[in-house]
A and B are shown apart, each in its own frame.
Chain A
Amino acid sequence: MTFRTLPTREECSARLAMIFPRAAFDPVHANPLAAASVVALIYVGAVAPEQSPVPDDQVWARPSMCLRMSDAVLARNSDQDRTAWREAMLTNTKKKVDDLMAQWGVRAEHWYADNSRETLRDETFTRWLDHGAIRERPGLPTSSSKPRWALASEFADLFAPTLTGPALEQTIEAWRSTHMDPGDRLRIATAQQRDQATHAVRVTMPDGSTRTLEPGTASRILKGVVEQWAPARLHDPVVLTISEPSRKILVADAAVLTRLGLTIDQATLLPDAVLVDIGANPVEFWIIEAVHTDGPISDRRRDDLLKWAEEQRIKPETCHFVTAFESRNSQPARKRLKDLGTGTYAWFLDEPTRELSWHEIAEGPA
Chain B
Amino acid sequence: MTALRAGASLAARVTTAPVNNRTARVVLGSVDPAGPLAPRAAVILAAVPGWWRERAQAAGLDGQWLDVMTAVEGPITAEVADLADVPDPTINDLDGYGLGGAYVGALTPTVRSRHGRHYTPQHLAEQLWQMTRRSLGATAKSRMLSGLVRDPACGAGALLLPVVQEQVRALRRVETPLALAGLPAKIEGIDNDPQAVWLANVILAAEMLPLLAALPTRLRRPLPALVRVGDGLAADLSPARAVLMNPPYGRVRLEEADRERFAKIVYGHANLYGLFMGAALDTLEPDGALAALVPTSFMAGRYFTNLRRTLATTTSLRDVAFVASRDDVFAGVLQETCLSVFTRKRALRTKVTRIEDTPRAAGAQQSTKGQDSPPQETLRQTLREAVQEVAQVKTPRKATPWLLPRRSDDAAIAAAANALPLTLAEAGWKASTGPLVWNRRAEDLSTTASTDPATPSAQVIWAADIDGGTLHRDRARDSLRHLALTGASDLKVMVLAGPAILAQRTTAPEQPRRLVVAGLSAADLDRWGGRVVVENHVNVLRPITPPDVSSGTTAETPAMSHEGLLRLLSTTTMDRVMRCVSGSVAVSAYELETLPLPGRDVLAAWEQLSGQELEDAVSRTYRPVTTS
Contact = CB atoms under 8 A, between A and B. Distances in A.
Nearest to B98: A254
A25 B375 contact: no
Contact of B627 (A22, A130, A265): A22
A169 B623 CA distance: 10
Given A211-B377, A258-B93, A21 B624 contact: yes
A261 B58 contact: yes
Contacts of B112: none
Contact of B375 (A24, A166, A212): A212
Given A127-B389, A181-B407, A21 B169 contact: no
Interface stretch (B408-416, B468-476, B587-595): B408-416
Contacts of A194: 372-374
Given A24-B391, A25-B391, A197 B374 contact: yes
Given A24-B392, A30-B628, A185-B388, 10 more contacts: A14-B628, A17-B627, A18-B626, A21-B626, A22-B624, A193-B382, A258-B95, A265-B169, A310-B214, A311-B210
Q: Output the residue of A22, A24, A166, A307 with the most chain B CB within 10 A.
A: A24
Contact of B409 (A177, A212, A247, A315): A177
B398 interface: no
A177 to B, nearest CB: 6
B122 to A, nearest CB: 10
Interface of B: 54-55, 57-60, 92-95, 98, 142, 165, 169, 172, 209-210, 214, 324, 354, 356, 361, 365, 372-375, 377-379, 381-382, 388-389, 391-394, 405, 407-409, 411-412, 414-416, 418-419, 616, 619-620, 623-628
B391 to A, nearest CB: 5
10 contacts: A23-B416, A24-B391, A26-B392, A176-B409, A193-B382, A211-B375, A212-B378, A247-B381, A249-B381, A258-B92
Contacts of A260: 58
Contacts of B628: 13-14, 16-17, 30
Contacts of A209: 375
Interface in A208-233: 209-212
Given A24-B415, A131-B408, A182 B324 contact: yes
A198 interface: yes
A354 interface: no
A235 B210 CA distance: 29
Contact of B356 (A130, A131, A182, A263): A182
A262 interface: yes
Contacts of B389: 26, 127, 130
Contacts of B165: 265
Nearest to A178: B409
A54 interface: no
A23 B624 contact: yes
Given A24-B415, A258-B95, A311-B210, A249 B58 contact: no
Contacts of A17: 626-628
Nearest 10 pairs of A and B residues by beta carbon: A261-B58, A180-B408, A23-B415, A180-B409, A24-B411, A17-B626, A24-B415, A23-B624, A17-B628, A21-B624
A249 B95 contact: no
Given A197-B374, A249-B381, A24 B624 contact: yes
Nearest to A173: B619
A334 interface: no
Nearest to A18: B626
A79 B458 CA distance: 77
A218 to B, nearest CB: 17
A259 interface: yes
B532 to A, nearest CB: 38
A190 B333 CA distance: 30
A366 B85 CA distance: 51
Given A180-B407, A182-B356, A182-B407, A261 B624 contact: no
Q: Output the residue of A17, A169, A182, A307 with the most chain B CB within 10 A.
A: A182
Contacts of B375: 209-212
Interface string A255-271: 10011111101001000
B579 to A, nearest CB: 12
Contacts of B414: 24
A326 B378 CA distance: 25
Nearest to B351: A26
A309 B135 CA distance: 31
B381 A311 contact: no
A301 interface: no
Nearest to A200: B374
A6 interface: no
Contacts of A74: none
Contacts of A249: 377-378, 381
Contact of A181 (B57, B409, B624): B409
Contacts of B627: 17, 22
Contact of B93 (A23, A25, A197, A254): A254
A194 B394 CA distance: 37
A324 B379 CA distance: 28
B227 to A, nearest CB: 20
A59 to B, nearest CB: 26
A303 to B, nearest CB: 13
Contacts of B405: 24
Contact of A261 (B59, B324, B354): B59
A194 B415 CA distance: 35
A28 to B, nearest CB: 10
Contacts of B381: 247, 249
Contacts of B356: 182, 186
Nearest to B166: A267
A24 B94 CA distance: 42
A313 interface: yes
Nearest to B373: A194
Q: Output the residue of B94, B374, B382, B405 with the most chain A CB within 10 A.
A: B374
A235 to B, nearest CB: 21
Nearest to A202: B375
Contact of A255 (B55, B93, B416): B93
Given A176-B409, A212-B374, A311-B210, A24 B393 contact: yes
Contacts of A22: 624, 626-627
Interface string A159-191: 000000010010001001100111001100110
Contacts of B408: 25, 131, 176, 180-181, 185
A198 B372 contact: yes
Contacts of A173: 619
B169 A24 contact: no
A211 B378 contact: yes
B404 to A, nearest CB: 11
B412 A24 contact: yes
Contacts of A181: 407-409
